[in-house]
Chains A and B, each alone.
Chain A
């Protein structure tokens, strides 16, 4: 089982996500530069948080044109697992791998705080280790996490049960309290909260472990099929 974490210039959670995959989940993990053009051989691809290319212009906008992006799109189209966290979520939306967009928080301020989330869909490769409607606490740390999609798109993704995590107490104005959602096929997840920051009791919580456990189980189950 192998995971890749893409490192864009300006990514700053790449090491943290790789640590969680490698040291906590025990998955063989490489950090892959966004200037590379292949992701062959990886079961899971992580798109980490940070400020890719300074997030100048618009969060994730420049990163979505990186040399690695065609390989990432091919990986996703072939059913490979992709998890984008924070800036990674923004990049996946900009690249069209996920519907909708992330706007400035309604407070217009960056927010770093623990947030309670409801796991509203446990039938995904990213959340199967959680109990249905389980409440978990994960840290958020973003300025642009206010999820928006047009009414048709929103209705479609709700009908299709693409929403995985919802805020219990919406911190940023996201429509339908959306904190994390998948694509229609269910193999690409984007989420604003940071599960990789909640994998060690020493650092204040382990509620993020379920995301990594879920991914591990999914890859093992796929291998057994």
Chain B
């Protein structure tokens, strides 16, 4: 497509910016602040920088309410990624990012470049990426289009992560019709660094050089930030040109070269930032704005993959594997030499200037001359009013689920896509490269050791759009609580979160209500569990033909394990171990997998969450694990007790004999704050003394291949061979 650069008057009359996501009011605002009519390049830059993806214009008032600081946080939101102190001079760096829109259109490249982008955010801080996770949500697998998306997204994540050599150690995959045409593809990366080497995206010091490094700029992903800030509709052609193409080999070289610069050339480097959403414009103008500086770039010097690109395209291209550096005057060659050694392009393309303007030159012409802040910190902020959706009044209480045949319900539950074994998907990811992965995918959290210490990091991703659909605030808190339970069950103390906030169009008051309410819930849980938000992103406009997805915040949480000896996994370890259930169980069915399976819908008021009890239970479990009393631990989440017990048995190749004072239906309740633990028989008394009434002894691990269960009303057995077949075959059968 050949773009025609309209003149300023024609832009005012023909309004091409409407197609790029800017409103007329925003055009007028930009024009009035600029003091003249903007040219094609300038209004194009505004459309990228004022998109929700870059400016957070609707979400910023909500994001400001997050709790972002405690005594461990070294750097909170606002940079490429957040940083938390983990002792011994080390810090952990992590962030998650959504690539929902690109993945819906071009699932392989969309997912692959999502992984590539989040890795750059981590090494831009100066951290070595050590692990990847993902959180995927799709429609139901009986839809062939969904199967295509699943296959390609998984291939894309693996294609990038495997090649670059960063292990994918955890994640989740959920299935619900709400995501049928709008899948969620969220990627998280975790890195480790020396805490005194934190790098920021700053372009300061008049005369210092701006150096462009990495891949050449092409016409891919142009204005992708605006694309990601609009909805899908059948009457719009799928915009393939807005999706980028990834090159993990290039990124491997870029990672190694940038880390060499941050570690060995610190005196020469002023700042560094990834060219992510809105490419060269966002990285350069944000670096200048954060430093309170001005910048001039000569676009003729930008390495370009194809001839004839106009400034609009060069600046808004989202070609992958590119970084922007600010380097002290006089040290340019020292830095360029590092990149040359890796065979990468590195060119001085501009300088920090002594006026607070952002200036672009192209073929000798000044094609952009605007105040730096107009494209960055002075972008519009909208204080949207929320309106409670009518469905949240819950006028009709749904019927209690009725279990007629508890054994067949138990087996059917194991075959639900969201619950069933995902190993056929995650075995396509290299989970062990770098040889630090202590706990592989399949347990509650991935665990990666930190070389040179006795410590390890546990990490997990969680989301649950169904809970939020029924109650955004409480559901938001539950997602944080569930992530923390995963880490605690692995023997880790939760230390912080990142998030991807996946919602519908924020200009709709009901969707904004969901966003704002869930942020309240997330904040309350973060404070109670001492896990500040250190980074994150928003993905709004997740809608197709006017229908929004369930509000689905994804929480990526990291926990610290001080002693590798206390790493705990969920599989049963030894016959004879005593099984304890931590936490009370209620008639909590609204929003559960059981309700969906039996009643075909999600309805009713969401069951309660007691954050104080949640924290008390988590503390008790972590204390027992750290005391060396626990041989296996698993949190109870989707599918409740029945699913958790079965998973522990299947992973350990052992059976169990349990007696509970629960109804048959309560076996599938999703009451929060619960864990299943096993304790060696000779430590059971000590365990009971330490944990007290929070834990209830319910039975023993057995060597058989059966689960013998006695409830308040029935005694029955689950054959583990049949359970394994259902659990392990469900996804592969669907995917055939």
| Residue positions of A touching B, CB distance < 8 A | 9-10, 12-13, 15-16, 19-20, 49-51, 53-56, 109-113, 139, 141, 143, 194, 196-197, 200, 202-204
Shortest C-beta distance, A48 to chain B (Å), equals 10
Question: Using a CB-CB cutoff of 8 Å, which residues 424-442 of chain B contact chain A?
Answer: 427-438, 440
Task: Tell me, in angstroms, the Cα distance from A148 to B429 when the chains sit together.
Answer: 24
Question: Using a CB-CB cutoff of 8 Å, which residues 135-177 of chain B contact chain A?
Answer: 155, 158-159, 162-165
Who on chain A is nearest to B158 by CB? Answer: A110
Cβ of B162: which chain A residues have Cβ within 8 Å of it? Answer: 51, 110, 112, 141, 143
Taking a contact as CB atoms closer than 8 A, the residue among A13, A19, A53, A204 that contacts B433 in the complex is: A13
Cβ of B431: which chain A residues have Cβ within 8 Å of it? Answer: 112
Q: Quick one: which of B247, B250, B430 has the most chain A CB within 10 A?
A: B430
Taking a contact as CB atoms closer than 8 A, the residue among A16, A53, A56, A110 that contacts B435 in the complex is: A16
Question: Using a CB-CB cutoff of 8 Å, which residues 684-709 of chain B contact chain A?
Answer: none
Quick check: B435 and A12 within 8 Å, CB to CB? no
Shortest C-beta distance, A33 to chain B (Å), equals 10
Q: A12-B433, A13-B433, A203-B438 are in contact. Are A51 and B428 (CB under 8 A)?
A: no
Task: Tell me, in angstroms, the Cα distance from A9 to B438 when the chains sit together.
Answer: 27
Q: A12-B165, A109-B155 are in contact. List 16 more A-B contacts (CB 8 A).
A: A9-B253, A10-B249, A10-B252, A13-B433, A51-B163, A51-B252, A54-B163, A54-B250, A109-B428, A110-B162, A111-B428, A112-B430, A139-B432, A141-B433, A203-B432, A204-B440
Cβ of B436: which chain A residues have Cβ within 8 Å of it? Answer: 203
Taking a contact as CB atoms closer than 8 A, the residue among A10, A56, A141, A196 that contacts B430 in the complex is: A141
By size class, the interface of chain B is 20 to 34
- 21 A-B pairs whose Cβ atoms sit less than 8 Å apart in the complex: A12-B163, A12-B434, A13-B165, A16-B433, A16-B435, A49-B433, A51-B162, A51-B163, A109-B155, A110-B155, A111-B427, A112-B162, A112-B431, A139-B432, A143-B162, A194-B432, A196-B435, A197-B435, A202-B438, A202-B449, A203-B437
Q: Quick one: which of A15, A110, A143, A194 has the most chain B CB within 10 A?
A: A110
Shortest C-beta distance, B171 to chain A (Å), equals 13
Who on chain A is nearest to B154 by CB? Answer: A109
Shortest C-beta distance, A17 to chain B (Å), equals 9
Task: Tell me, in angstroms, the Cα distance from A15 to B449 when the chains sit together.
Answer: 16
Shortest C-beta distance, B204 to chain A (Å), equals 33
Q: Quick one: which of A56, A196, A202 has the most chain B CB within 10 A?
A: A202
B716 at interface by CB-CB < 8 Å? no
Quick check: B428 and A53 within 8 Å, CB to CB? no
Taking a contact as CB atoms closer than 8 A, the residue among A54, A196, A200, A203 that contacts B248 in the complex is: A54
B342 at interface by CB-CB < 8 Å? yes
8 smallest CB-CB distances across A and B, nearest first, come from A12-B165, A54-B249, A51-B163, A16-B435, A141-B430, A110-B428, A112-B430, A10-B249
Quick check: A15 and B434 within 8 Å, CB to CB? yes
Contact with A along B328-366 (1 / 0, CB 8 A): 000000000000001100000000000000000000000
Who on chain B is nearest to A54 by CB? Answer: B249
Q: Quick one: which of B155, B431, B435 has the most chain A CB within 10 A?
A: B435
Q: Quick one: which of A10, A12, A109, A200 has the most chain B CB within 10 A?
A: A12
Taking a contact as CB atoms closer than 8 A, the residue among A16, A56, A143 that contacts B249 in the complex is: A56
Shortest C-beta distance, B104 to chain A (Å), equals 22
Shortest C-beta distance, A52 to chain B (Å), equals 9
Cβ of B164: which chain A residues have Cβ within 8 Å of it? Answer: 12
Contact with A along B204-248 (1 / 0, CB 8 A): 000000000000000000000000000000000000000000011
Task: Tell me, in angstroms, the Cα distance from A54 to B253 when the chains sit together.
Answer: 10
Cβ of A109: which chain B residues have Cβ within 8 Å of it? Answer: 155, 428
B37 at interface by CB-CB < 8 Å? no
Cβ of B248: which chain A residues have Cβ within 8 Å of it? Answer: 51, 54
B650 at interface by CB-CB < 8 Å? no
Who on chain A is nearest to B440 by CB? Answer: A204
| Residue positions of B touching A, CB distance < 8 A | 155, 158-159, 162-165, 247-250, 252-253, 342-343, 427-438, 440, 449, 564
Cβ of B342: which chain A residues have Cβ within 8 Å of it? Answer: 9
Cβ of A56: which chain B residues have Cβ within 8 Å of it? Answer: 249
Quick check: A112 and B249 within 8 Å, CB to CB? no
Taking a contact as CB atoms closer than 8 A, the residue among B159, B343, B432 that contacts A141 in the complex is: B432
Task: Tell me, in angstroms, the Cα distance from A202 to B435 when the chains sit together.
Answer: 10
Quick check: A110 and B249 within 8 Å, CB to CB? no
Quick check: A112 and B434 within 8 Å, CB to CB? no
Who on chain A is nearest to B164 by CB? Answer: A12
**Chain A interface secondary structure, helix, strand, loop or mixed?**
mixed
Who on chain A is nearest to B441 by CB? Answer: A112
**A-B CB pair tally, cutoff 8 Å:** 79
Cβ of A202: which chain B residues have Cβ within 8 Å of it? Answer: 438, 449, 564
Task: Tell me, in angstroms, the Cα distance from A19 to B440 when the chains sit together.
Answer: 20
Shortest C-beta distance, B310 to chain A (Å), equals 30
Cβ of A19: which chain B residues have Cβ within 8 Å of it? Answer: 435
Who on chain A is nearest to B456 by CB? Answer: A202
Cβ of A55: which chain B residues have Cβ within 8 Å of it? Answer: 163, 249
Taking a contact as CB atoms closer than 8 A, the residue among A20, A50, A196 that contacts B165 in the complex is: A50
Cβ of A110: which chain B residues have Cβ within 8 Å of it? Answer: 155, 158-159, 162, 428-430
Cβ of A203: which chain B residues have Cβ within 8 Å of it? Answer: 432, 435-438
Cβ of A54: which chain B residues have Cβ within 8 Å of it? Answer: 163, 247-250
Shortest C-beta distance, A193 to chain B (Å), equals 12
Task: Tell me, in angstroms, the Cα distance from A12 to B162 when the chains sit together.
Answer: 9
Task: Tell me, in angstroms, the Cα distance from A15 to B435 when the chains sit together.
Answer: 9
Shortest C-beta distance, A13 to chain B (Å), equals 6
Task: Tell me, in angstroms, the Cα distance from A200 to B451 when the chains sit together.
Answer: 13
Taking a contact as CB atoms closer than 8 A, the residue among B249, B434, B437, B440 that contacts A53 in the complex is: B249
Shortest C-beta distance, A105 to chain B (Å), equals 10
Who on chain B is nearest to A16 by CB? Answer: B435
Who on chain B is nearest to A55 by CB? Answer: B163
Cβ of A12: which chain B residues have Cβ within 8 Å of it? Answer: 163-165, 252, 433-434
Shortest C-beta distance, A206 to chain B (Å), equals 13
Cβ of A10: which chain B residues have Cβ within 8 Å of it? Answer: 163, 249, 252-253
Q: A10-B163, A197-B432, A203-B438 are in contact. Are A113 and B249 (CB under 8 A)?
A: no
Who on chain A is nearest to B159 by CB? Answer: A110
Task: Tell me, in angstroms, the Cα distance from A204 to B441 when the chains sit together.
Answer: 13
Task: Tell me, in angstroms, the Cα distance from A75 to B503 when the chains sit together.
Answer: 60
Shortest C-beta distance, A16 to chain B (Å), equals 4
Task: Tell me, in angstroms, the Cα distance from A203 to B249 when the chains sit together.
Answer: 27
Q: Quick one: which of A19, A53, A141 has the most chain B CB within 10 A?
A: A141
Shortest C-beta distance, A115 to chain B (Å), equals 11
Who on chain B is nearest to A20 by CB? Answer: B435
Cβ of B247: which chain A residues have Cβ within 8 Å of it? Answer: 54
Task: Tell me, in angstroms, the Cα distance from A146 to B164 when the chains sit together.
Answer: 22
Quick check: B249 and A51 within 8 Å, CB to CB? yes
Task: Tell me, in angstroms, the Cα distance from A20 to B435 when the chains sit together.
Answer: 10
Cβ of B438: which chain A residues have Cβ within 8 Å of it? Answer: 202-203
Cβ of A111: which chain B residues have Cβ within 8 Å of it? Answer: 427-428
Who on chain B is nearest to A49 by CB? Answer: B433
Q: Quick one: which of A13, A112, A141 has the most chain B CB within 10 A?
A: A112
Who on chain A is nearest to B451 by CB? Answer: A19
Quick check: A9 and B343 within 8 Å, CB to CB? yes
Task: Tell me, in angstroms, the Cα distance from A203 to B435 when the chains sit together.
Answer: 7
Shortest C-beta distance, B397 to chain A (Å), equals 46
Cβ of A50: which chain B residues have Cβ within 8 Å of it? Answer: 165
Cβ of A13: which chain B residues have Cβ within 8 Å of it? Answer: 165, 433
Shortest C-beta distance, A186 to chain B (Å), equals 28
Cβ of B343: which chain A residues have Cβ within 8 Å of it? Answer: 9
Who on chain B is nearest to A196 by CB? Answer: B435
Q: Quick one: which of A139, A196, A200 has the most chain B CB within 10 A?
A: A139
Who on chain A is nearest to B433 by CB? Answer: A12
Shortest C-beta distance, B119 to chain A (Å), equals 13
Cβ of B449: which chain A residues have Cβ within 8 Å of it? Answer: 202
Cβ of A141: which chain B residues have Cβ within 8 Å of it? Answer: 162, 430, 432-433
Cβ of A9: which chain B residues have Cβ within 8 Å of it? Answer: 249, 252-253, 342-343
Shortest C-beta distance, B563 to chain A (Å), equals 12
Quick check: A112 and B435 within 8 Å, CB to CB? no
Cβ of A194: which chain B residues have Cβ within 8 Å of it? Answer: 432
